[in-house]
Amino acid sequence: MSTADDVAAAADASAGQDDAVRYEPTDSGVAVLTLNRPERLNTWGGDIAGAFYSSLERADDDPAVRVIVVTGSGKAFCAGAQLGSMESVGKSLENTDERALSELVGERQPHFLTTLRKPVIAAVNGSCVGIGLTLALMCDVRFAAAGAKFAASFARRGLIAEYGISWILPRLTGWGVALDLLLSGRTFLADEAVELGLVKEVVAPDQLMTRVLDYAEDIARNCSPASMAVIKRQAYGDASRDVDDATARAEALLHASLLRPDVIEGITSFFEKRAPNFPGLASSE
């Protein structure tokens, strides 16, 4: 079983590499993706975007990976978009064509996380602002280090609710809280984030990765990858359907699930009081 120390050791081994995102698979079926530009608080740019989305695809296609964890190196998870100097900001504002914007954001957008077949867990180790907040909210589950700062600061920068945050935030918190956070752009801490339903747990900073890996490894060890893939598709797809349509689709998916070996294994392991041995997902599934 891997531990937070194992991940830290892997990180130390690759410290000399100039990787915008570290990719560290563990023996327990968890792939840890670490945004790795601590000198700029992991602010989002084309270098991180390209490495991040390719790492997500790599993890989603690997049958040995069952759960994905996303975190940041240093003091921040992701402190928003990479603005650079006042001069570079001015040039960016003069060049607002879609190509320039896509170079900053990347070929995909944060909601790509919701289309993955595998659970994605955010370990919010520090500042989580702007597009960094959108990224964290598009993960399936979030843990946060005590004292981590959050902000949907778009209105304070003269911007709008970017890249799907206006879709996901009300679904997590309700309309009133979402509009408070979006319209005020105020900063709030991890303790409030858990009260608002944005975060599952607040953990001491030095225990964050240990707790997240324990949670992720429990899922990897005990949950069917095929079941989780279907459940994710149901949860995000049903958000735009009425209850009759969602129920009908669930019935069809249930019949299909009964044909998979996962059901027999899940029931057998329960009665035999042992951990299940579910097959991994092939890249073509």
What would the pLDDT profile of 24-35 be if each residue is shown by its tens digit? Answer: 999 999 999 999
Residue 283 within any structural domain of the chain: no
Residue 182 lies in a domain: yes
What pLDDT score was predicted for residue 6?
A: 52
Question: Does residue 247 share a domain with residue 194?
Answer: no
Enumerate residues 6+ apart whose C-beta is below 8 A from 102: none
| Residue 123 within any structural domain of the chain | yes
Domain identity same for 127 and 239: no
In tens, the pLDDT along 46-82 reads 899 999 999 999 999 999 999 999 999 999 999 998 8
Prediction pTM value: 0.80
In a domain, 243, yes or no: yes
Domain that holds residue 244: 224-272
Residues 190 and 132 in one domain: yes
In a domain, 280, yes or no: no
User: Does residue 72 fall inside a structural domain?
Assistant: yes
Looking at the structure, tell me whether residues 26 and 150 fall in a common domain.
yes
Q: Are residues 96 and 174 in the same domain?
A: yes
106 and 240, same domain (yes or no):
no
Does one domain contain both 106 and 151? yes
Looking at per-residue pLDDT, the higher value among 185 and 257 belongs to 185
CA distance 119 to 141: 8
Overall domain count for the chain: 2
